[in-house]
């Protein structure tokens, strides 16, 4: 009886931590929009500040906990840093030419394909209901984000966003083997920081205090701490479940936009939220691990 209660308690904790992580990811989208679209910050500058802030805050947290800096040994960490960099840089450059809705569809669709493919290659059992849930949630996302009217997709932007999706999918797959979520995330950000020199040279650095504050908050809190939390929960769930859970991020971001930015609550948002949340719920049926 106690064992059952313990499992139930941990399951609820995992659900709450995963939800908090998805909220952090959605907050990144909101902060990005506010900094780039409203405060006029260059997207590459946003990415550089985001990585720098995350690297500093995470290194300080590791230092306070262990009395030393994170282990930056490239032989152990380069895959995580490289995939994180592919995501960060590809994402920033893609939105220079790509519609936000199409960009999000390419990103999250690509993440689904990457993580499901990795699970299949690893011979992870994927129950039929999980495939159904993934399809239903993705349909909800398409309904929410597909542009109304004529659609024009920039080929270069699409390739960059597909690269970002591949990077984030690999980064998430690697997180399932993370032994120390905080140190692993800190090392990834720290190793990525020198690579951001080139984007820093390409960026326009006409910053306002508001834009800088938004980028630092994104890097230190919703990226740095959010990604560390993601690495904390990933080992506790199946890779395909982790992929499907992320389909909630655009819906949360749009809903947050309605609350924080005064954007309208549309029929598309309500229907999409029902489809995405329903798909996520279906994918977790039968008590499968994750």
Residue 63 lies in a domain: yes
Structural contact between residues 41 and 215, judged by C-beta atoms closer than 8 angstroms: yes
Domain assignment present for residue 54? The answer is yes
Q: Using CA of residue 147, residue 31, residue 82, residue 111, what is the dihedral sign?
A: negative
Q: How far is CA 112 from CA 105, 116, 119, 206, in A?
A: 10, 6, 11, 36
Beta carbons of 240 and 54 less than 8 angstroms apart: no
Q: Does 137 fall in a domain?
A: no
For the record, the structure tokens of 167 come out as 């990077």
Give the per-residue pLDDT at 7.
55
Distance CA 275, CA 254 (A): 15
Domain of 112, in residue numbers:
2-126+154-234
Distance CA 71, CA 208 (A): 34
Residue 194 resides in a domain: yes
The tally of domains found in the chain comes to: 1
Locate the DSSP E strands across the chain: none
| pLDDT computed for residue 85 by the predictor | 93
Domain contains 75: yes
Token couple for 81? 């840093």
The per-residue pLDDT string of the chain (290 residues; one tens digit each, 9 = 90 and over) reads 455 555 555 567 888 999 999 999 989 888 888 888 889 899 999 999 999 999 999 999 999 998 999 988 877 788 999 999 999 989 888 877 877 778 888 999 999 999 999 999 988 888 999 999 999 999 998 888 887 766 677 888 899 999 999 999 999 999 988 889 999 999 999 999 999 998 899 888 988 999 999 999 999 999 999 999 999 999 988 889 999 999 999 888 888 877 776 767 788 888 988 999 899 989 887 644 44
The pair of three-digit structure tokens given for residue 175, joined into one six-digit string: 């997180």
Residue 244 lies in a domain: no
- Residue 268: inside a domain, yes or no? no
Contacts of 130 by beta carbon, 8 Å cutoff, 6+ apart: 238, 240, 241, 244, 283, 288
Of 62, 61, 49, the closest CA to residue 88 belongs to 49
- What's the pTM? 0.87
Query: Which pLDDT score is estimated for 34?
Result: 85
Half-sphere exposure of 73 (CA within 13 A, CB side): 3
User: Which candidate, 288, 276, 287, places its Cα nearest to that of 246?
Assistant: 276
Instruction: Confirm whether 139 is domain-assigned.
Output: no
d(CA 138, CA 195): 33
**Do 70 and 187 contact (CB within 8 A), yes or no?**
yes
Burial 97-110 (b: 16+ CB within 10 A, else e): ebbebbbbbbbbbb
Supply the pLDDT for residue 172: 94
């Amino acid at each position: 009886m106690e064992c059952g209660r313990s499992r139930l308690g941990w399951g609820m904790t995992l659900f709450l931590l995963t939800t908090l992580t998805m909220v952090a990811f959605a907050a990144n989208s909101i902060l990005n929009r506010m900094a780039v679209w409203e405060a006029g910050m260059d997207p590459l500058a946003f990415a550089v500040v985001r990585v720098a802030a995350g690297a500093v805050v995470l290194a300080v947290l590791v230092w306070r906990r262990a009395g030393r800096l994170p282990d930056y040994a490239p032989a152990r960490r380069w895959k995580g840093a490289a995939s994180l960099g592919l995501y960060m840089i590809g994402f920033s450059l893609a939105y220079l030419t790509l519609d936000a809705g199409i960009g999000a569809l390419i990103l999250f669709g690509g993440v689904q394909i990457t993580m499901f493919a990795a699970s299949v290659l690893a011979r992870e059992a994927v129950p039929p209901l999980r495939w159904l849930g993934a399809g239903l949630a993705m349909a909800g996302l398409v309904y929410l984000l597909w542009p109304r009217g004529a659609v024009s997709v920039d080929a270069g932007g699409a390739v960059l966003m597909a690269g970002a999706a591949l990077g984030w999918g690999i980064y998430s797959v690697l997180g399932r083997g993370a032994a120390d979520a905080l140190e692993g995330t800190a090392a990834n950000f720290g190793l990525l920081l020198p690579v951001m020199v080139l984007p820093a040279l390409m960026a326009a650095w006409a910053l306002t205090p508001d834009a800088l504050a938004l980028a630092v908050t994104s890097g230190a809190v919703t990226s740095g701490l959010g990604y560390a939390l993601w690495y904390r929960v990933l080992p506790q769930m199946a890779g395909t479940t982790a992929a499907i859970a992320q389909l909630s991020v655009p819906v949360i971001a749009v809903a947050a936009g309605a609350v924080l930015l005064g954007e309208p609550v549309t029929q598309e948002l309500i229907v999409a939220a029902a489809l995405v949340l329903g798909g996520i719920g279906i994918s977790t049926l039968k008590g499968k691990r994750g």
